[in-house]
Amino acid sequence: MEYTLREMMTVVAAREIKNDDIVFCGTGISMLAAMAAKSINAPDCVIFFETGAIDAALEEIPMAVADSRVMYHTASSGGLLDAFATMQNPTTGQKVIGILGAAQIDIFGNLNSTVIGDYFSPKTRFSGSGGGCDVASFVPRSMIFMQHEKRKFVKTLDYLTSPGHLDGPDGRRKAGLPAGGPELVITNMAVMRFDDTTKEMYLDGVYPGIEPEAVLEQMQFSVDISRAREVMPPSADELNILRDKCDPQRLIL
């Protein structure tokens, strides 16, 4: 079955979600991945939003984390204080997996969603942190969605909005952050993970028909490609669920 790269990205993310995960979602493709996971491989996972909604029944895809669609049939309707406390709760917080996106990423998975250019006179301004910095600071595991482009995989971020592994293996501890940080980066070409020892990004998988070298060409920094394997494409079942059940209006796909 034919599939788009956005569909591939969504399915790859959905497969990472386990049945006992509490999935923290942002706006866009991450919501679709969480909805897909609930229908495909992790029916009992709990979706939650920084706006305070826990375990909403997502019958339609929300356009923002404050969309009324996240308020329907929740287990609890709180606010931002509750949501960020859940991420830091010594028991429930350990089950949270964050899904983030950004304009720039570096080799340690630090993210920029604030500005391109000088912070004080930016060339391009983005939305800013929102809850991104909070999630990246608190949760033990996170995955990141990125478009694979040279201007996005940068040697040095223009602004560090959300901490990944900071400057390496000991970065988070030195800064005073809890352990954790990004586990994987899902792009429109490949899946990258972070080395256990160096905390540097490496190429874990490429999508069918994509050469590892082509992935490197779309990055300002070099990563280890020796561990790369081919990622399994979405199955017909996965695609049907995604298209017919999760996003029939094609709002995200």
Partner 1 sequence: MSKLVKDKVMPLKKAVGAYVHDGCHMAIGGFTINRNPMAAVYTIIRAGIKDLHLYVHSNGQGVDELIGAGSVSKVEIAYGGSGKFAATCIRFRKAIEKGTLQVEDYSNYQMTLRFLAGAMGVPFLPTRSSLGSDIVDKWGFSENLRRSDPKLPNRKLTVLDNPFEDWGNTEKVVLVPAITPDVTLLHVQQADRAGNCRMDGLSFADVEQAKASRHLVVTCEELMEGDALHENAHHNQIPFIHVDAVVHVPFGAYPTACYQHYDYDPVYLKAYAVAARDDEKYKDYLDTYVYGVADHQALIERIGTERMESIKADPRTGYAANLDRR
- CA distances in angstroms from 63 to 30, 50, 78, 175, 239, listed in the order given: 11, 14, 19, 34, 21
Catalytic residue chosen out of the listed positions 7, 16, 50, 238 = 50
- CA distances in angstroms from 77 to 56, 135, 201, listed in the order given: 9, 19, 37
Give, as one character, the DSSP assignment of residue 138.
H
Site for partner 1 in 56-115 (CB under 8 A): 59-60, 62-73, 77-81, 84, 88, 114
If one asks whether residue 202 binds partner 1 (CB under 8 A), the answer comes out as no
Q: Are 186 and 9 in contact (CB under 8 A)?
A: yes
If one asks whether residue 5 binds partner 1 (CB under 8 A), the answer comes out as no
Which stretch, 13-21, 40-48, 205-213, 245-253, contacts partner 1 (CB under 8 A)? 245-253
Kindly tell me which of 134 and 238 has the beta carbon lying closer to partner 1. Answer: 134
For the question of residue 2 being annotated catalytic, the response is: no
Q: What are phi and psi of 225, to 5 degrees?
A: -110, 5
Give, as one character, the DSSP assignment of residue 85.
H
Kindly tell me which of 59 and 217 has the beta carbon lying closer to partner 1. Answer: 59
Which residues contribute to the site for partner 1 (CB under 8 A)? 27-28, 50-53, 59-60, 62-73, 77-81, 84, 88, 114, 119-134, 137-138, 159-163, 166, 171-172, 174-178, 249-251
Active centre residues (catalytic):
50
